């Protein structure tokens, strides 16, 4: 099989050089995003990832046609095939890329990233040393549980916030477990977007376990409201 593929590529390179360049371009544009989607845990990403392979296999189909017509019109076949296939690759990739961005945003943030059902799985995709203070599982006595996360954000940022109502004794016990670097207000610009539009953190006091409060504001800790009946765990690493 390997020898046949190698022989096929050598023949295309020697006889259809423009088409060979298009195949290389298609391979890069198709398989890199395909592998990215394949490595994510959510099924929808894997399904969409296979769509990226369509331009590559479409190009192989045109390659077969080019081999048939190449004997009569070698130069014309090379040029026209290259133009047509390049156009197909660019157009298809743009369309699929737009669909992936729109769908992945909805699927990742709305269906998975904010769904408490996936909490334990979501937590695995964040640095363990930065989320060690998060509960391994949501406590049974927790009420009004809210979750917000950005896992595979296209811009590289990472955020996870878990918030719920619970009794004061639980909160006091959590605060006693850690030494805190500082105590901050949520009015600080470093936390201006934490929790998105879903989780309200106004009037919370944030106990920073570690991290910084500069422009990038990469830190993690625990937040408590004034009444001591709500707690939130957070890790933020904006882009």
How confident is the model over 165-187, as pLDDT tens digits? 999 999 999 999 999 999 998 88
Give all strands of the β-sheet with 158-165 in edge-to-edge order.
143-150, 158-165, 230-237, 219-224, 205-211, 182-185
- Residue 177's pLDDT is what? 94
- Residue 131's pLDDT is what? 94
Same domain, 201 and 233: yes
Considering only residues 215 and 168, tell me which one the structure prediction assigns the higher pLDDT: 168
In contact, 66 and 122? CB cutoff 8 Å: no
pLDDT band at 76 (very low <50, low <70, confident <90, very high): low
Same domain, 17 and 107: yes
Same domain, 70 and 38: yes
Same domain, 78 and 121: no
Backbone angles phi, psi at 181, to 5 degrees: -75, -40
Nearest Cα residue to 234 out of 123, 112, 116, 118 = 123
Same domain, 81 and 124: no
Range of the domain at 43: 2-113
From 78, 113, 148, give the residue that closes a domain.
113
0.75 exceeded by pTM = no
From 98, 113, 128, give the residue that closes a domain.
113
Same domain, 154 and 50: no
Q: How many domains does the chain have?
A: 2
Considering only residues 93 and 69, tell me which one the structure prediction assigns the higher pLDDT: 93
pLDDT above 90 (res 164) = yes
How confident is the model over 88-120, as pLDDT tens digits? 667 666 766 666 665 555 555 455 667 888 898
Same domain, 107 and 178: no
Mean pLDDT over each residue of the chain, to the nearest integer: 77
Same domain, 72 and 125: no
- Residue 190's pLDDT is what? 78
């Amino acid at each position: 099989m390997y020898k046949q593929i190698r022989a096929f590529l050598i023949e295309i390179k020697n006889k259809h050089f423009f088409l060979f360049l298009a195949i290389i371009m298609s391979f890069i544009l198709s398989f890199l995003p395909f592998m990215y989607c394949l490595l994510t845990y959510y099924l929808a990403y894997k399904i969409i990832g296979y769509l990226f392979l369509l331009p590559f296999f479409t190009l192989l189909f045109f390659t077969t046609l080019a081999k048939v017509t190449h004997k009569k019109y070698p130069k014309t076949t090379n040029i026209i095939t290259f133009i047509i296939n390049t156009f197909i690759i660019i157009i298809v990739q743009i369309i699929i890329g737009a669909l992936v961005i729109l769908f992945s945003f909805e699927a990742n943030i709305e269906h998975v990233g904010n769904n408490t059902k996936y909490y334990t799985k979501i937590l695995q995709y964040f640095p363990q040393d930065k989320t060690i203070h998060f509960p391994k599982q949501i406590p049974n006595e927790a009420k009004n549980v809210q979750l917000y996360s950005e896992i595979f954000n296209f811009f590289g940022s990472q955020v996870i916030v878990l918030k719920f109502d619970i009794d004061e004794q639980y909160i006091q016990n959590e605060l006693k477990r850690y030494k805190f670097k500082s105590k901050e207000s949520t009015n600080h610009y470093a936390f201006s977007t934490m929790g998105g539009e879903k989780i309200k953190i106004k009037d919370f006091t944030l106990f920073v376990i570690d991290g910084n409060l500069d422009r990038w504001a990469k830190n993690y800790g625990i937040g408590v409201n004034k009444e001591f009946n709500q707690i939130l765990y957070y890790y933020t690493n904006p882009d």
